[in-house]
Amino acid sequence: MPTRHHRRRFWLVGLVALSLGGSLAVSQLASPASAATLTTAWHNGAFDLNIGGVVSRSDVVLGEPNTAAAQSLQLGNGSLGVAAWAANGFTAQLNRSDTMPNRLSPGQVNIPGLSTMTAASDFSGHLDVFRGALDESGGGMTMQAWVPSGKDELIIEVTGANPNTQQSATLNLWSGRSPSATSSGAYGALAQTWVDNVTNGPSGKTFGAMATITAGARNVSASVVNSTQVKVAFTPNSDGSYRIVVAAPTWTGGNAISTAQTLVGSDTDTATATLTAAQALAWHTYWAGSGLVEMSSSDGSAQYMENLRTLYLYDEAASMKAGGYPGSQAGIADMFNYDQDHVDWYPAGYWLWNLRAEIAANLSSGNYALNVPIFDMYLNDLPAIESWTTAQMSGKPGACVPETMRFNGNGFSGGNNTQNASCATASSPAWNALDITSGPELAMWIWQQYEDTGSISFLQKYYPILKQTVTFLLAWQTKGSDGYLHAVANAHETQWAVQDPTTDLVADQALFPAVVSAATLLNTDSSLVAQLKTAETEIGPYARTDESTKQQLLNPQPTSPTTTASVDAKGTDVIADSYQPTAKLENGENIGLEPVWPWGVVGDNSVVGGDNLTALEDRTYQYRPNQNGNDWNFDAVDAARLDNASQVQADLTAGVEKLQTHINGLANLTTGTNWNDPYLEQSATVATALDEALATDYDGTLRFAPAWPSGWDGSGTVAIQGNSKVDVQVEGGILATAAIQAGSTTTMTVRNPWPGKQAEVVNGSTGAVILAATTASTFKVPVTAGSSYLVEQPSSPTTSMTYAQVTGSQASTYKTLGGKVQIGLP
């Protein structure tokens, strides 16, 4: 790519404890005292990271059986998800994202004969995330369970059973379900279809859920037990082994038995080694393309956060697959539901706010394909969204993307609830009736993924979303006598129908130039480009309020940059939610920090016309009204963007200790309420915060470890814009390795990791000097696709350090954080 736009994102895995400066100032890396005291994984022109060794550190270990459903462990391939626990031997719930509109489960599997294993005194279990399998043993028996990458099946392989004792396994549904229960030979099936036609805005499509069960063993026979249960009975093989195969493909009707027989094929008797080798290869390939982080600290907190980040990457791959609906719809880990058909919130709807951390973490880890199901759903629904907008938003053109959008593109929320629709003036005031910035945020994420990948074909495909969302944003706002664009809208869900909410202003600031760049790259929409360039000059300043009460409007309209700068200069103001700071607060969002993240228009060095916006946002963070709130709170991410290293660690620790209630790394939404479902959004936010603290380039300048906690070490590899990679290590507060593996030819801007001291850039293979030693605060680095580069201090060259591979050992026990929460069971 010939140019680098202002919204860029680097992946960087691997930093180790950085000694950071003041909590609200640019972080300072320590200078190497001696190359002999540091190690580097840079060796022979490459970064040496043992992928399996690092990933396996984050396995989930069971020292006792996980008999409660809420202790379930997760398996999946992106289209079929499983929650497995040790009730009555072995129980597993099957989940899919395409059983709309209520996300009904295909069923639960139970194998009572495995009680011999789970009740044994020597029981142990292990979720092997490197190969996507659950291993258990005890009482002379073993079990492996996995969901193959290429088939929507759950396979359970058992050894050590009594070869002379008949065994059974059942497939079950429950009250309220009305499947067709059938059996034929070795197969039993439960299948049900329905039409989505009973709520407001139905799709009219036929959906369904189907599961079949069979066994690889002797004397296999299936039968119908009752209207919601089928059973397969069998005798184990002569060596005591047997295999249960449960198929649960997408279903809209047909012959369940024959469909399953075709899908399963020879999987009941194919050699175990053949099946497990294919499973391992699929997961190893995924991990090889993911940005990994290895972390450590004396108190174990770094290892715990690493575990959550790795588990997020595992969970997301097990939940998302192109061609299907997104696996998570409201921050919930829907694909790992263990509570029959119960789903928190509105199962047919998607909340973009609750997907933002997933999208961000997928970008910063380089797993771009995991965002495709999200982007595709909105793109496919775009015509329906435009029709909804015209009908519900005063006839305005373009697309007002509903914050709570039904999967087929309308803003109805909660079945027949017409009083809480999104992007619907008739519902205002309400939670998302005038929340008009979900579309611009979606467009911003698409633009960011384009910049990370450099794929013009990707941008071409999703450009209609950018165009239609900005078209609506422009149409909704009116230019006032003060020369600024104005609108009444929601400050997301926090304030309803208020004047010029901060969310609108920041959406303008981020989206207008992004669409200009996108349209220019695609050589299209010249008139829209001209309109947006004019509109960029008509964006007003954020509302300011006092830091203590947050009730005063300190820059009443009509206002100006001069007025707001004079208010900021007093050092006691913060960014308000809107120009009506006294309006009722309906939710616990920190709207004043939206310019920091995710929009990235205010960063750690933002001074405009002498007005220090970074200092303003530092105060906004310090005096934020909601601290360590719900599982989706972005406190740690905001702290990372503001180079506030100590708060990154404090915020992550506080949030995880408060809400990470499931032993598989998943969370509760909040405290004080009985939320049945496990939530994925907290681990996604942990992953995002860690990546932002490790490296970020949201404004076009690459920063190494801008907010890395001083007591944490870490190493790894991250992909960056243009299909490049960054390899970084920090040890004891010292940046040891900072390598760039260029995937495109461009010029990068890099912030000097050692302010005021010399830094140079050399070719990573030959050692040739690319950029001579400089003390400049930032410097330009010309990079060529296929070449590597080392950013280093001349006094401590990377290649003079002792070589040591980045690796790790497979987890052998459960982990705990502060004695308050845990991953695994003791």
Q: Which residues pair with 43 in a beta bridge?
A: 46
496 in Cβ contact with 431 (< 8 Å): yes
CA neighbours closer than 13 Å in the CB half-sphere of residue 356: 23
One-letter-per-residue 3-state SS of 343-411: CCCCCCEEECHHHHHHHHHHHHCCCHHHHHHHHHHHHHCHHHHHHHHHHHCCCCCCCCCCCEEECCCCC
The encoded tokens of residue 369 equal 């394909």
**Residue count (the chain):** 826
Instruction: Say what the pTM is.
Output: 0.95
SS3 category, 52: helix
Per-residue pLDDT, 20: 27
Instruction: Note the pLDDT of residue 27.
Output: 53
* Residue located via tokens 């938003």: 393
Q: Write the CB contacts of 422 (distance below 8 Å, at least 6 apart in sequence).
A: 402, 403, 404, 405, 411, 413, 431, 432, 433, 435, 438
Cβ–Cβ under 8 Å, residues 823 and 814:
yes
Task: Please tell me whether residue 625 adopts helix, strand or coil conformation.
Answer: coil
pLDDT of residue 583: 98
What b/e string do you get for 294-330 counting C-beta neighbours within 10 Å, with b at 16 or more?
A: bbbbeeebbbbbbbbbbbbbbbbbbbbbeebbbbbbb
DSSP string of 765-825? Answer: TT--EEEEEE--SEEEEEE-TT-EEEEEBTTB-GGGSEE--B------S-EEETTTEEESB
- Residue 512 in contact with residue 444, Cβ under 8 Å? no
- Tell me the C-alpha distance between 174 and 251, whole Å: 19
In contact, 13 and 289? CB cutoff 8 Å: no
Nearest to 236, CA basis, from 164, 143, 187: 164
Largest pairwise CA distance in the chain? 89
- For 262-310, what is each residue's pLDDT tens digit? 999 999 999 999 999 999 999 999 999 999 999 999 999 999 999 999 9
Question: How does pLDDT run across 681-699, given as a tens digit for each residue?
Answer: 999 999 999 998 988 888 8
> In this predicted structure, what is the pLDDT of residue 9?
31
What pLDDT, on a 0 to 100 scale, did the predictor assign at position 36? Answer: 55
Residues of the chain with pLDDT under 50: 1-26
Q: Are 9 and 364 in contact (CB under 8 A)?
A: yes
For the beta sheet containing 73-76, the strands, ordered from the edge strand earlier in sequence to the opposite edge, are: 73-76, 81-85, 91-95, 107-110, 167-172, 229-235, 218-226
Handedness of CA 141, 147, 149, 153 (dihedral sign): positive
- Rounded CA gap, 253 and 258, in Å? 12
